[in-house]
Amino acid sequence: MRTPLGSTGLHVFPLCLGGNVFGWTADEGASRQVLDAYVGAGGNFLDTADSYSAWAPGNAGGESESIIGRWLAGRRDRDELVIATKVGMLAGADNLSPANIRRSLEGSLRRLGCGHVDLYWAHQDDPSTPLADTLAAFDGLVREGLVRHIGASNYSAPRLAEALATSDREGLVRFAALQPHYNLVERSGYEAALAPLAVAEGLAVMPYYALAEGFLTGKYRPGATVASARAEDGAAHLDERGLAVLDALDAIAATHDTTVAAVALAWLRDRPGVVAPIASARTVEQLAALLPMATLQLSPGERAALTAASAE
């Protein structure tokens, strides 16, 4: 199953596999198993960053890219995969100046063992660098064949609109994709202003934290103890609204004989502009709970029930 990635001409699996856990909560062996299982199930869309997994003790950044690169080295299907990475959030390289963009891409390509990346994200906005300079740097990389398409992550609607207008005015490559923080319990940040802009501009949207730090897998319940590096963040959603969302997810998952996570991801996949939610898995078992979202079809009534339960 493949879906068009906006106007890029690329076609991707409707679940993008996040690489933020590789080299952090998933060691190299576990990461390889997850990658094998994902591709074995038909997946082809990988998302990483030069800053993954710098937050883990002893890491400096680039660990996720390196694990993916070593995994890729033993395969012959690079051209069948859509690989995305990011620039602009790694400590010491947390800007979008032309020099940093090129230097960071060179490091990412070296770690990935690739001649190009399919989608290169500006990991966050950089108000200190003129948009025209940032976009000119990306444009040069696209013209050289080192990057196929570019995307914006963590941009506000006004800054994204300004960037698109700058590209049009200057004749530079445009952002083709948007990566916002968006899920069933975090809606307003995307829906209020970014969604209308993304739809109007034809941007492909890949939400991160698609499962709200694990909350939307259903493992966080009143009185439950969860062994996870993100347990505190996930449990933060255990309020009246969060419990209403879980009740709706439970009922729909039971109707379809599927997982709570698959239902949450299917709702997100069907939202305006969204092409492929991003979710990570540190084990093959966790991945198996996510994969049914690719074929799960929610009825209009089920989508409406989830939308109502999660209303902010």
pLDDT tops 90 at residue 236: no
Question: Is 38 considered catalytic here?
Answer: no
pLDDT in tens, 204-230: 999 999 999 999 999 988 876 666 766
CA dist 183 and 209 (Å) reads 7
Q: Around 11, how many Cα atoms within 13 Å sit in the side-chain half-sphere?
A: 5
Domains of the chain plus CATH, in order, are: 3-216+260-297 (3.20.20.100)
pLDDT tops 90 at residue 148: yes
Looking at every residue in the chain, the average pLDDT score rounds to 96
Cα 95 to Cα 55, 88, 89, 177, 288, distances in angstroms: 18, 5, 7, 19, 37
Q: Out of 38, 52, 190, 209, which one is annotated catalytic?
A: 52
Q: Is 304 exposed, middle or buried (0-12, 13-18, 19+ CB in 10 A)?
A: exposed
pLDDT in tens, 46-70: 999 999 999 999 999 999 999 999 9
pLDDT tops 90 at residue 268: yes
